Amino acid sequence: MSNSFIIGQYVPGDSFIHRLDPRTKIAIIFTFVIVVFLANSVASYGLLTAFSIGSALLTRIKLSYIAKGLTPVWFLIVFTFILHLIVTKDGEVLFQIASYPIYSGAIIQGAAISLRFFLLILVTSLLTLTTTPIEITDAIETLLGPLKKIKFPVHELALMMSISLRFIPTLMQETEKISKAQASRGVDFKTGPIRDRVQAVVPLLVPLFVSAFKRAEELAMAMEARGYQGGEGRTKLRELKIEGRDLFVISLFLLIIIGLVMTRA
């Protein structure tokens, strides 16, 4: 489980991307997810690819590490490409695989869509790779701040998100420990008919729930003991601040969007 799943693990570092304000990163990624759908020509895809790969390089995290984090989505990317090969019938027939014709349009479209999907996932994963959960939730809290006016529980949501993110590694270890403990008692999670595999999940979930509740109680007590009393009047150790590099990155990104609109076919 842990090998196939390193996505979202923060990698400590001091790169340009690490030092950007988390609000800048979130705003850019949010916009990126939308503008990635604007690309429809070689030049516009090139621009987006250059931006994404450039940002990935700037994080100074090993590319192989980033690629490993994308493991769960490789399947989807390949699947999309193959589906395109099968269903798209544009352009001319290039060659045949077992008497099934493959069209040139299918390869182009398949490649374009797979690339779009890859860029989307790559850029979103950069956020969690270079930003601590605390920074992310701080940023979400300030970005959603205006919603407080309509009584939306912004602080509570941010608190919940930061706790959830923080406990992913802890609870993952716990899950692994429990499943090993149960496997040593003869529970088989991997093989057998579906009914048996479904039943095998019960002895995994019961201790997991009990321990999640126990941890929640401990954490609540620890927070109260330190005087936590909700979002009102809470001060922060690290204040978020927009600096020169944030403005630089934001203007660069705006230029890229303009470039995208201009290079569209």
**Using CB under 8 A as the criterion, which residues of the chain lie in contact with other proteins when the complex forms?**
1, 4-5, 7-8, 33, 37, 69-70, 72-73, 76, 79-80, 83-84, 87-88, 109, 112-113, 117, 120-121, 124-125, 127-128, 136, 156, 159-161, 163-165, 167-168, 171-172, 175, 189, 194-195, 197-199, 201-202, 204-206, 208-210, 212-213, 215-217, 219-220, 223-224, 228-230
CB of 164 to other proteins, least distance (A): 4
Nearer to other proteins, 201 or 245 (CB): 201
Compute the CA torsion angle 144, 150, 151, 154 (nearest 10 deg): 0
Nearer to other proteins, 3 or 235 (CB): 3
CB of 152 to other proteins, least distance (A): 13
Classified as helix, coil or strand, 225 is helix
Distance of alpha carbon 224 from alpha carbon 160, whole angstroms: 16
Positive or negative torsion for Cα 76, 81, 87, 88: positive
CB of 98 to other proteins, least distance (A): 20
- 137 exposure class (CB count in 10 Å sphere: 0-12, 13-18, 19+): buried
CB of 14 to other proteins, least distance (A): 22
Nearer to other proteins, 16 or 189 (CB): 189
| Structural contact between residues 47 and 88, judged by C-beta atoms closer than 8 angstroms | no
C-alpha distances out from residue 195 to 54, 68, 126, 181, 188, Å: 48, 32, 39, 21, 12
CB of 116 to other proteins, least distance (A): 8
| Residue among 138, 168, 167, 140 at smallest CA distance from 7 | 168
Nearer to other proteins, 140 or 256 (CB): 140
Nearer to other proteins, 59 or 109 (CB): 109
Name the phi and psi angles at 129, rounded to 5.
-70, -30
